[in-house]
Structure 1
């Protein structure tokens, strides 16, 4: 009886999420090939003035988000009926063949301005309980899919048309001129760059040994947080377990947790480390594409030489700006890390792809963190 009740509860939970997409065809998993349109998958679709999620397409969020030109991201997971992902403490969860992970990039529109005027804001509550996005208030840019096929994860990127009715495959990427408008009316023109296939691999090939594409966000420490699935906030991981999307979940006390970098109740160190973890560690880890630098910025890296404190650069080239160390305690302006984060020059800025603007709030956080570090990098001759 308890087993039947658990199955019924899981189906009911999915049904609640499915309440807004009557008439949408079932999700279509494509085991190979590159479908030309996003609607060929039926994961998310523009219908009746909304971007809707299909039945079984479950939204989720991260404790700390990777910065991409102030764009907002609607993240979802879908798995074939009867399958489940296996929990792992470190690294991405083990998802079954047939899984589709989506990420739709969008901006809130800036008041009554042009369609290309988008809001520079860290907060936007347009998506509620997975019920989709109101297309009258957002500017859709792209939807990226990571599809778990027999031979591994395959990335596909779809760019939305101006009418916001369909997104088409963009293997070579795209560039969209936009203007960020802040709360005071300040304007910043920039080019939003949709990555090509090779650039997708650059970030998601987190292990140079296996050279396999990996997920970045769906990991225990990033997803161990609350999300409102229609009945008030509840922990995402326990919710995914309750609907059969996650197995082998341990006790909550044993699950790692990255801080929300904007949470004032968390320590400055925890917030800064979480920011560097999600924005930098996919490359800056012992097995990543930036391992030649000797700079490791993962959440579990000790605050020693490997974290970059008083470490001389090994492969930065002109990106140093004449600075001698990656991080100089108490001196952000003398730190290469700060110099590269605050730049938009090719060959200098870090991350080197994925942004055309400077994350003002993120750089301010890392500046404060470096100011708080004790010690010095005195060179004794």
Structure 2
């Protein structure tokens, strides 16, 4: 006699089969795709000849609309660069994350990561249009960070690799509708290293936790940037409960001392540090070091500059005898500070430092 399958087992098997069948044929509306980044970054082939080869942006490339996985960010205080506006993005390979070292040290990004920074001007004359000048890409290889400099074409349809440096004349209307002009210098590779090299090793500058511990208005809403990096999977979730952070130096609601120290941190500290390009001086401008005003040159003797015979690097209540103020307020390439990255005076920065110098107590 043939063995008979119990009816209860048959019904259960049939039900299970129908459930599986139904799950395979369910409506496409129930299907949720796992989004992947279209970015192409082969470490054996970079830098590519064109910016578009990376697929960092979707649609019309000049709109700088980031592709999935290309995350925008903005330092709390920004480096002055000839009044150019900037857009910044970070991208990392799938499954990799940055790690935290300290508040004042740049995040340790994984091999294969890229930082993308684009410089542009609005209200460029005579067309009164937006003009993108350059995009700088820093890529971390196993041997360290490399630079890739891309110069945008006149049609703004792409940017081509150029590592030798060049100059572009730009005329624009500023936020007060006043005409401005600059011979904008696109850096060569050695220019990049002057600011980015620490003990002969190239490093990013702006991605310190103390400079990203602020809100950013993402398309999905406003969020703390470090929290966003953690949420997106770009940063290990091991941040301290409190991060000693800089402030926006343009924010007049903050104390003058914090604003000045924040300004020096983003504009000067990358050179004025141990192993930096200005290591030979006694000046140290990192936010973590400038609670002591002598590190900023207050009442400290400095180099001789035109017109200053008996002043200090910072002479309290006397900008005319402060070498730091002179260097910030000159375009003379032999004396200006910073030496690279600007050829015109940052008027708002000079005004901030003037206010600070005039507020300091007289040297003993």
- Aligning the two structures, in what range does the TM-score lie when normalised by the shorter sequence? 0.7 to 0.9
Match of 2:283 in 1: 295
How many equivalent pairs are there? 330
Counting only pairs closer than 5 Å after superposition, residues 28-43 of structure 1 correspond to structure 2 as 28-43=41-56
User: Does structure 1 retain, via aligned residues, the 8 Å contact 2:121–2:172?
Assistant: no
Which of 295, 300, 304 is matched with 1:306 structurally?
295
Which of 130, 135, 156 is matched with 1:138 structurally?
130
3-state secondary structure, aligned to 1:285: coil
Shift in alpha-carbon separation, 1:351–1:46, aligned structure 2, 3 A: farther
Match of 1:261 in 2: 249
Match of 1:178 in 2: 170
User: Does structure 2 retain, via aligned residues, the 8 Å contact 1:159–1:170?
Assistant: yes
Match of 1:271 in 2: 259
C-alpha deviation, 1:265, in angstroms? 1.6
Shift in alpha-carbon separation, 1:48–1:246, aligned structure 2, 3 A: closer
Counting only pairs closer than 5 Å after superposition, residues 1-381 of structure 1 correspond to structure 2 as 25-44=38-57, 47=60, 50-89=63-102, 90-110=104-124, 113-115=125-127, 137-205=129-197, 207-208=198-199, 211-252=200-241, 254-301=242-289, 302-313=291-302, 316=303, 318=305, 321-322=308-309, 324-376=311-363
Shift in alpha-carbon separation, 1:256–1:31, aligned structure 2, 3 A: farther
1:198-256 Cα offsets, whole Å, 9 max, x none, are 00011001x22xx210110111011110011223311000111011100043244x212
User: Structure 1 stretch 69-78 or stretch 26-35: which is displaced more?
Assistant: 26-35
C-alpha deviation, 1:312, in angstroms? 1.2
C-alpha deviation, 1:182, in angstroms? 2.9
Higher relative contact order (CA 8 A, sep 6+): 1
C-alpha deviation, 1:37, in angstroms? 1.0
CA–CA distance in 1 between the matches of 2:299 and 2:61?
Answer: 56
CA–CA distance in 2 between the matches of 1:91 and 1:323?
Answer: 36
User: Does structure 2 retain, via aligned residues, the 8 Å contact 1:30–1:41?
Assistant: no
The alignment's C-alpha RMSD in Å is 2.2
User: Does structure 2 retain, via aligned residues, the 8 Å contact 1:311–1:327?
Assistant: yes
C-alpha deviation, 1:160, in angstroms? 0.4
Shift in alpha-carbon separation, 1:256–1:184, aligned structure 2, 3 A: closer
Shift in alpha-carbon separation, 1:178–1:323, aligned structure 2, 3 A: farther
3-state secondary structure, aligned to 2:348: helix
Unaligned runs of 5+ in 2: 1-31
3-state secondary structure, aligned to 1:292: coil
User: Does structure 2 retain, via aligned residues, the 8 Å contact 1:320–1:339?
Assistant: no
3-state secondary structure, aligned to 2:202: coil
CA–CA distance in 2 between the matches of 1:236 and 1:360?
Answer: 29
CA–CA distance in 2 between the matches of 1:268 and 1:339?
Answer: 20
User: Does structure 1 retain, via aligned residues, the 8 Å contact 2:123–2:172?
Assistant: no
TM-score by length of 1: 0.81
3-state secondary structure, aligned to 1:198: helix
Shift in alpha-carbon separation, 1:95–1:48, aligned structure 2, 3 A: closer
User: Does structure 2 retain, via aligned residues, the 8 Å contact 1:106–1:139?
Assistant: yes
Shift in alpha-carbon separation, 1:294–1:161, aligned structure 2, 3 A: same
Shift in alpha-carbon separation, 1:93–1:158, aligned structure 2, 3 A: same
Unaligned runs of 5+ in 1: 1-11, 19-23, 118-136
3-state secondary structure, aligned to 1:370: helix
